[in-house]
């Protein structure tokens, strides 16, 4: 009986009034029961470890000995006397700056071509999506190591065009490039998201603008890009966060080499923590990574007001 | 006029066919290469002159004292435990967020959204220390327990995906179940869950794939060969074998992507739905 009155009250024009007669929450206790697995997990496996690692970063913690508070000495060492930190940070920033834009641009361009092709779209989408399905696996990393080795097929293929091959993986100038290429090759899942986004753009926007004499390029910058910008924004942030943490392919394909040319930050973190068991020092490295990722995310979201367009914005122009 | 109309789509298709071929060429070459002997391996041609099926049989037994059967059983065992844990916890949590009102709900929901972006590597050291103290290293508990608490590889993402889906299930169904005397758990189990089946399938797929590829996690917590997953076994034969056995290595690597491929082939619809509705990549 109680239920049916609530349903009626909800249908009534002033829903606010009904909340005076009803408790503010329909299930305070049951709600917490339902979310308790996540809540416990968050507190025990995310929040607490997060602060624990901040604490570790000010200690000389190893798994073997009792830890001692050493103040900011870990951080001082990292920033003043740790060439491997500088090298791994440099490699990671290069990797992020190259792989993320290339992947997003490839995804956007191919999505735009594909969105126009009505026939065969399923086939193309499958072919392009498939690499991103398997790309993160060890198997593909091993394949990559073979393809770009000195006897790999990549050299055989470019020899057809008269280019002399080399060992792309053992050459410090090109090793990181092969890893970036592996990442960009997996643009398919991002493309599927863009493809779904492109379908959401109302066709009359394009029709109206072509009546006004807009060409394809103007349409791209004035309609497609702004309409897609929220999706682009979200994917940019997720891609940056993931790229900062790149580990498997650098570990398996090049093992950080040659001459530390692919020694990404996560590999350095792994080595400090789990080869040398310097967990305090490695925690400091982890917090520096967190701060870098948060800073990058904030930077992107700060710039977003200049380029991300939401339909609730007044008028058809970007917010300034 | 008609020529310009037909010309463009044709060009587009030619481009797409070439581009698709370029994308899948490494994989097609891989299939051929897994059947080649070492002298032939570096040829860009796809078909081996004489298929070397023994790449598969020898590769399967290339770890002394074990076969890949063991590693696949280990990996599938781990996957099943993780999947059950994930489905139990994530559906309950998602139902709580999507359907119940409780104090601080908005606050916890925004925390959930934040954990979606949490870089996992920041947490591995304290988590490792914790699991080490509990004596869980070299067991599968460091994978199962976080998933039981709606965490682990992709946990917050699954909760988010399920919340989005459950919000789309009409609330009137809850109301009528309530009138019929159904409890919250009854509504969850009998009304919402059956309707949320597509989202549950999507979660299952991604949970399976991400745990299959969770190489760093396996590397950290599994130390002995008898508990090795497929990824760790592949890395081991990669480290121990000479270049002469590339054929076997490529053959075993190829087998390791078969599960993901089968999942993709048979459940393709759920893939695209899952990616497109949440806007999060797979």
From the number of C-beta atoms within 10 Å of its C-beta (0-12, 13-18, 19+), residue A77 rates as: middle
With a cut of 50, say whether residue A259 has pLDDT above it.
yes
Q: What is the CB neighbour count within 10 angstroms for residue B44?
A: 17
Do B202 and B93 fall within a single domain? yes
pLDDT of the residue at A21: 41
Contact status of B184 with chain A (Cβ, < 8 Å): yes
Secondary structure letter of residue B152 according to DSSP = S
In a domain, A16, yes or no: no
Same domain? For B89 and B211 the reply is yes
Note whether residue B88 is domain-resident.
yes
Is B2 within a domain?
no
Burial class (CB in 10 A: 0-12, 13-18, 19+), A221: exposed
d(CA B201, CA B77): 19
Do both B190 and B263 map to the same domain?
A: yes
A192-251 residues touching B, CB cutoff 8 A:
192-193, 195-197, 231, 234-235, 237-238, 241, 244-245, 247-248, 251
Q: In this structure, is residue A5 part of a structural domain?
A: no
Closest residue in chain B to residue A106, using alpha carbons only:
B19
Which residue of chain B has the CA closest to A61?
B129
In angstroms, the separation between the Cα of residue B196 and the nearest Cα of chain A is 17
Q: What is the CATH number of the domain that holds B101?
A: 1.10.3720.10
Give the residue from A267, A250, A5 showing the smallest Cα distance to A144.
A250
Tell me the three state secondary structure of residue A64: coil
Q: Is the pLDDT of residue A12 over 50?
A: no
Give B155's contacts in chain A (Cβ within 8 Å).
38, 41
Put simply, the answer to whether B264 touches A133 (Cβ < 8 Å) is: yes
pLDDT (average), residues B239-244: 66
**Does any domain span residue B1?**
no
Give me the number of domains chain B comprises.
2
Q: What confidence tens digit (pLDDT) does each residue in A81-107 have?
A: 899 999 999 999 999 999 999 999 999
Does a structural domain hold residue B96? yes
Half-sphere exposure of B213 (CA within 13 A, CB side): 25
Q: Does residue B140 sit in the same domain as residue B246? A: yes
| Domain that includes residue B192, residue range | 62-281
Which residues are CB-neighbours of A315 under 8 A, at least 6 positions away?
A: none
Residue A167 contacts B where some CB pair is shorter than 8 Å: no
Structural domain includes residue B127: yes
Longest dimension (CA), chain B: 76
SS3 state at A82? coil
Instruction: Determine contact, residues A285/A269, Cβ cutoff 8 Å.
Output: yes
| Partners of A69 in the β-ladder | A59
Name the 3-class secondary structure at B223.
coil
Q: What is the CATH classification number for the domain harbouring A69?
A: 1.10.3720.10
pLDDT score at B278? 58
Per the model's pLDDT, the better-predicted residue between B72 and A315 turns out to be B72
Looking at every residue in chain A, the average pLDDT score rounds to 85
- Cis peptide preceding A258, ω within 30 of 0: yes
CB contact under 8 A, A38 and B93: yes
Please name which of A153, A35, A9, A314 lies closest in space to residue B36, comparing C-alpha atoms: A153
The number of CA neighbours under 13 Å toward the Cβ of B167 is 11
Using CA of residue A9, residue A14, residue A16, residue A17, what is the dihedral sign?
A: negative
Mean pLDDT (whole number) for A238-264: 91
Q: What is the pLDDT of residues B188-219, one digit of tens each?
A: 999 999 998 888 998 999 899 999 989 999 99
Q: What are phi and psi for residue B66, nearest 5 degrees?
A: -140, 160
Q: Is B271 helix (H, G, I), strand (E, B) or coil?
A: helix
Percent of chain A with pLDDT over 70: 88
Closest residue, chain B, to A123 (C-alpha): B20
Tell me if chain A has a CB within 8 Å of the CB of B100. Answer: yes
Calpha distance A265→B17 (Å, rounded): 38
User: Is residue B133 included in any domain, yes or no?
Assistant: yes
| Domain count for chain A | 1
pLDDT at B242: 60
Residue B22 at interface with chain A, using a CB cutoff of 8 Å:
no
Cβ pair A247:B29 closer than 8 A: no
Rounded to whole angstroms, the Cα distance separating B265 from B20 reads: 17
Residue-number span of the structural domain to which A228 is assigned:
29-319
């Amino acid at each position: 009986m109680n239920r049916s009155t609530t349903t009626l009250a909800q249908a009534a024009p002033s829903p606010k009034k009904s909340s005076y007669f009803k408790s503010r929450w329909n299930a305070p206790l049951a709600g917490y029961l339902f979310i308790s697995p996540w809540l416990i997990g968050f507190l025990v496996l995310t929040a607490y470890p997060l602060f624990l690692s901040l604490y570790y970063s000010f200690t000389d913690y190893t798994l073997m000995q009792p830890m001692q508070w050493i103040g900011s000495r870990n951080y001082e060492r990292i920033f003043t006397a740790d060439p491997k930190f500088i090298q791994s940070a440099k490699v990671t920033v290069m990797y992020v700056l190259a792989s993320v834009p290339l992947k997003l641009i490839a995804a956007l361009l191919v999505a735009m071509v594909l969105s126009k092709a009505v026939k065969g779209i399923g086939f193309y989408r499958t072919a392009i999506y498939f690499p991103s399905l398997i790309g993160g696996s060890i198997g593909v990393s091993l394949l990559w190591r073979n393809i770009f080795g000195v006897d790999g097929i990549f050299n055989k293929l470019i020899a057809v065009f008269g280019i002399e091959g080399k060992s792309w993986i053992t050459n410090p100038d090109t090793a990181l490039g092969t890893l970036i290429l592996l990442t960009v090759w997996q643009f398919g899942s991002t493309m599927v998201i863009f493809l779904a986004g492109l379908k959401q753009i109302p066709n009359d926007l394009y029709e109206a603008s072509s009546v006004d004499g807009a060409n394809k390029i103007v349409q791209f910058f004035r309609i497609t890009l702004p309409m897609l910008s929220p999706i682009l924004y979200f994917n940019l942030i997720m891609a940056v966060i993931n790229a900062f943490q790149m580990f498997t392919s650098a570990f398996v394909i090049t093992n950080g080499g040659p001459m530390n040319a692919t020694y990404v930050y996560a590999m350095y973190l792994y080595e400090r923590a789990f080869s040398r068991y310097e967990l305090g020092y490695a925690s400091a490295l982890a917090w520096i990574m967190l701060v870098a990722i948060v800073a990058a995310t904030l930077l992107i979201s700060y710039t977003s007001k200049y380029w991300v367009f939401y339909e609730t914005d007044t008028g058809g122009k970007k917010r300034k | 006029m008609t020529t310009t109309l037909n010309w463009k789509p044709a060009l587009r298709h030619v481009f797409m066919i070439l581009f698709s071929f370029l994308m899948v060429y490494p994989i097609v070459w891989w299939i051929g290469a897994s059947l080649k002997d070492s002298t032939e391996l570096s040829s860009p041609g796809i078909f081996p002159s004489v298929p070397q099926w023994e790449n598969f049989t020898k590769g399967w037994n290339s770890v002394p004292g074990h076969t890949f059967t063991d590693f696949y059983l280990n990996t599938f065992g781990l996957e099943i435990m993780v999947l059950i844990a994930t489905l139990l916890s994530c559906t309950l949590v998602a139902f709580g967020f999507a359907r119940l009102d409780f104090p601080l709900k908005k606050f916890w929901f925004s925390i959930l959204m934040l954990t979606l972006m949490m870089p996992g590597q920041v947490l591995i050291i304290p988590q490792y220390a914790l699991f080490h103290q509990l004596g869980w290293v070299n067991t599968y508990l460091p994978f199962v327990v976080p998933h039981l608490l709606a965490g682990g590889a992709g946990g917050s993402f699954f909760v988010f995906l399920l919340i989005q889906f459950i919000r789309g299930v009409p609330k009137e169904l809850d109301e009528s179940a309530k009138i019929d005397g159904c409890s919250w758990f009854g509504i969850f189990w009998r009304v919402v869950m059956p309707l949320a089946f597509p989202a549950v399938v999507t979660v299952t797929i991604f949970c399976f794939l991400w745990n299959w590829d969770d190489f760093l996690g396996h590397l950290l917590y599994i130390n002995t060969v008898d508990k090795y997953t497929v990824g760790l076994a592949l890395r081991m034969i990669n480290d121990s074998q000479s270049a002469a056995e590339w054929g076997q290595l490529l053959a075993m690597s190829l087998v390791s992507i078969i599960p993901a491929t089968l999942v993709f082939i048979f459940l393709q619809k759920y893939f695209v739905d899952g990616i497109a509705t949440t806007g999060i990549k797979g």
